Structure 1
């Protein structure tokens, strides 16, 4: 693993995810008297905007998608209604996932270099998830190595289900963390300095030193509130807004259906709205 396992290259922009989370919290609060809204640029990366605007996703290349803060019903049980359409056995040519699937097929054929490329592509994603869970860099590095060792042993069993390989890897990491603590309850031990310094230093019109300090303090307050959620809500928020996972990827990782994840996110956002201090700057 590289010395800076939270490098910005190939990494999800955490600040964009936190911006998106704050927008949903503002919608849950629903009162301009309760929060102070910071000005935002009119345009920016996918997932940025105003609370009243249309949000296309946490990150553009993964179609993560924000979930509206409204109650969501559970999906019907299998066996009721029309049978689901089975996913294709491989990505369509030209699909962004086709390159990754090509590497997977080569790794399944025993090509070590192909698995090495998969490692380089996903090591930051796996490390970040584990680091949020355990709060110790040495332990996170060890568990990240164990995750990829287990993935190497199991790569031949991986089949295309229409979801990114990263969700499969994080599922392995999740199980290893649970084994380590001998419990299914997760602790969010966020090292805010590493988390926030791992992202892009420039913020366009907001890139002044004063704005950077305010932004960091605001995010630390939000992350502190996330720590107070119950374990399932914590993990949902981490996967959706700090990892940038889609609803489908989060559901796969947490072994739930998509309706349950939407409902869990809704409850978590509402809980955060209650936990944040009065005057918190959205």
Structure 2
């Protein structure tokens, strides 16, 4: 099950929905109405996808995790109790737990963008491209990374968000350290050129 790119923030139903509408759909879905669950999916999928993508920075993984979120939700729908509970929060919890497990399995740990602004690791990244990336806002960085080619995106994710060394990244990707350095340099150059000046925070 593939999903569309997210457009709205937060795990909330699409505009025009009311809590009563969602509650009625959940009740129908719990009673076995597949069409009701399909409507729930349509109302929440973009928001769940956005939440997941912000954590993993990988389009394919975000789609898979979003799909798995709804698969888990459907399988456990009978355990959801509407009184005092918000369905969007319940979905967000499932998505968050799946994302955490994915990050652990990939040995990825997010690194605050503020740390990149303070100082880049010695010997790890070239300048002046690194300076441009270090001053990016988080939203701008995510938007820029999404536009990189797959190899460049993997290198940036492992180096900056996974905090792997050049050698560790090379081993992970099955490439030579020189190839990783080249991909990193090109990725940073691309980010510097792709992102508008307005996206850069003052140092």
2:145 and 2:34 mapped to 1: Cα distance? Answer: 31
Residue 110 of structure 2 aligns to a residue whose secondary structure is: coil
Q: Of residues 189, 192, 195 in structure 1, which corresponds to 2:143?
A: 192
1:3 and 1:104 mapped to 2: Cα distance? Answer: 21
Q: Of residues 61, 84, 99 in structure 1, which corresponds to 2:21?
A: 99
Aligned-residue offset at 1:185: 7.9
Inter-CA distance 217–152: structure 2 relative to 1 (3 Å threshold): farther
Aligned residues between the structures:
122
Residue in structure 2 matched with residue 111 of structure 1 by the alignment? 33
Contact 2:2–2:63 under 8 Å retained in 1: no
2:87 and 2:145 mapped to 1: Cα distance? Answer: 25
Residue 187 of structure 1 aligns to a residue whose secondary structure is: coil
Post-superposition, which runs of at least 4 consecutive aligned residues in structure 1 deviate over 6 A? none
Aligned-residue offset at 1:164: 3.4
Inter-CA distance 194–161: structure 2 relative to 1 (3 Å threshold): farther
1:5 to 2:18 alignment? no
Q: Which residues of 2 match residues 166-177 of structure 1 at below 5 A?
A: 166-177=88-99
* Gap runs ≥5 in structure 2: 112-137, 147-195
Inter-CA distance 171–3: structure 2 relative to 1 (3 Å threshold): closer
Compute the RMSD of aligned alpha carbons.
3.5
Residue 191 of structure 1 aligns to a residue whose secondary structure is: helix
Residue in structure 1 matched with residue 67 of structure 2 by the alignment? 145
2:197 and 2:20 mapped to 1: Cα distance? Answer: 40
2:20 and 2:145 mapped to 1: Cα distance? Answer: 32
Query: TM-score scaled to structure 1, two decimals?
Result: 0.37
Q: Bigger relative contact order, structure 1 or 2, given CA contacts below 8 A and separation 6+?
A: 1
1:100 and 1:128 mapped to 2: Cα distance? Answer: 20
Inter-CA distance 165–3: structure 2 relative to 1 (3 Å threshold): closer
1:117 and 1:108 mapped to 2: Cα distance? Answer: 13
Q: Of residues 149, 159, 179 in structure 1, which corresponds to 2:101?
A: 179
Query: TM-score scaled to structure 2, two decimals?
Result: 0.50
Residue in structure 1 matched with residue 79 of structure 2 by the alignment? 157
Contact 1:133–1:186 under 8 Å retained in 2: no
1:112 and 1:194 mapped to 2: Cα distance? Answer: 37
2:143 and 2:69 mapped to 1: Cα distance? Answer: 24
2:67 and 2:54 mapped to 1: Cα distance? Answer: 16
Residue 182 of structure 1 aligns to a residue whose secondary structure is: helix
Residue in structure 2 matched with residue 277 of structure 1 by the alignment? 202
2:74 and 2:26 mapped to 1: Cα distance? Answer: 10
Inter-CA distance 102–148: structure 2 relative to 1 (3 Å threshold): same
Inter-CA distance 179–98: structure 2 relative to 1 (3 Å threshold): same
1:182 and 1:158 mapped to 2: Cα distance? Answer: 27
Aligned-residue offset at 1:108: 0.3
